[in-house]
Amino acid sequence: MASFADMNGHRASGYSAEAQPDRTEMRLLVIEDDRDAADYLVKAFREVGHVADQANDGEEGLVMALDGDYDVLVVDRMLPKRDGLAVIGTLREKGKHTPALILSALGQVDDRVKGLRAGGDDYLSKPYSFSELLARAEVLARRGGSRGEETVYRVADLTLDRLSHMVMRGKEEILLQPREFRLLEYLMKHAGQVVTRTMLLENVWDYHFDPQTNVIDVHISRLRSKIDKGFSQPLLHTVRGAGYMIRDGAR
């Protein structure tokens, strides 16, 4: 087992430095102005079998991200010449949707929400473990490769059209309120995966209420009654102690 630590307190532990035979190779771009930290990440990614390039300021990173075919961008939030959020925002404006993982010493809720709203796909606070960063990057690469820019989500006979805002179960149209639509859209976007309450707070409600409120439970109950009631196969499931999941079939 390998264990690395850089001068900023990042620690890479709990992973094998040898490439895993069942791991799909990723191509990553690390945009980080701290050269020691950038070198450390590039080395660690390469040691587990991935391809990694690096850029040391926002302008260089933007050019490389626009020109290169990367699976995931690892972007430090505070960068010279152009900060990380501006880099991601410009990429999105130009139609470049490469998944972006933001690294930042700013770890408060408002900071994470701002990063996600700027176009980031995930947000990891410093100091971090490399094993967690690696796992998050691999998840983003899988999602980016399989989902692309889908406008229609389907699970069994349930269909959600993002453009027309129409939801159908079989031949029956289901009428949803705007918040219910956003909730279902997020669940279907992550079909087959456990969606936690925190994920829903960040992506559907934007933390604009007391996290202890039962608003999520109320909306889940209403949504379940609309998409499952009267149908033989339930699709919206509660995963006890973890969250919720939309999936095809019973387990």
Question: pLDDT by residue (tens digit) across 44-100?
Answer: 999 988 999 999 999 999 999 988 889 999 999 999 999 999 999 999 888 788 999
Please, are residues 76 and 31 in contact by the beta-carbon 8 Å criterion?
yes
Q: Can you tell me the distance from the alpha carbon of 227 to that of 184, in angstroms, rounded to the nearest whole number?
A: 9
Asked whether residue 6 carries a pLDDT value surpassing 80, the answer given is no
The model's confidence at residue 209, banded by pLDDT at 50, 70 and 90, is low
Q: Which of 15-19, 90-94, 227-231 has the highest mean pLDDT?
A: 227-231
Could you tell me the residue ranges of all domains in the chain?
2-147, 152-246
Decide if domain 2-147 falls under CATH 3.40.50.2300.
yes
Query: What is the pLDDT, as a whole number, of residue 197?
Result: 84
Q: How confident is the model at residue 3 (pLDDT cuts 50, 70, 90)?
A: very low
pLDDT at 145: 55
Cross-strand bridge partners of residue 208: none
pLDDT tens for residues 158-171?
999 887 889 999 99
Whole-number percent of the chain with pLDDT over 90: 46
* Residue 124 to residue 134: CA distance in whole angstroms: 11
Q: Which CATH class is domain 152-246?
A: mainly alpha
Given a cut of 80, whether residue 102 has pLDDT beyond it is yes
Please name the amino acid found at residue 7: M
Q: Mean pLDDT, to the nearest integer, of 20-45?
A: 85
Q: Find all residues with CB under 8 Å of 220, minimum gap 6, and list them.
A: 183, 236, 238, 244
Window from 16-30, 91-105, 126-140 with minimum mean pLDDT: 16-30
Backbone angles phi and psi of 73, in degrees to 5: -105, 130
Would the pTM of this model clear 0.75, i.e. be above it?
no
- Could you tell me if 74 and 45 are in contact, meaning their C-beta atoms sit under 8 angstroms apart? no
pLDDT grade for 211, boundaries at 50, 70 and 90: low
Q: Is 223 helix (H, G, I), strand (E, B) or coil?
A: helix
pLDDT of residue 205: 76
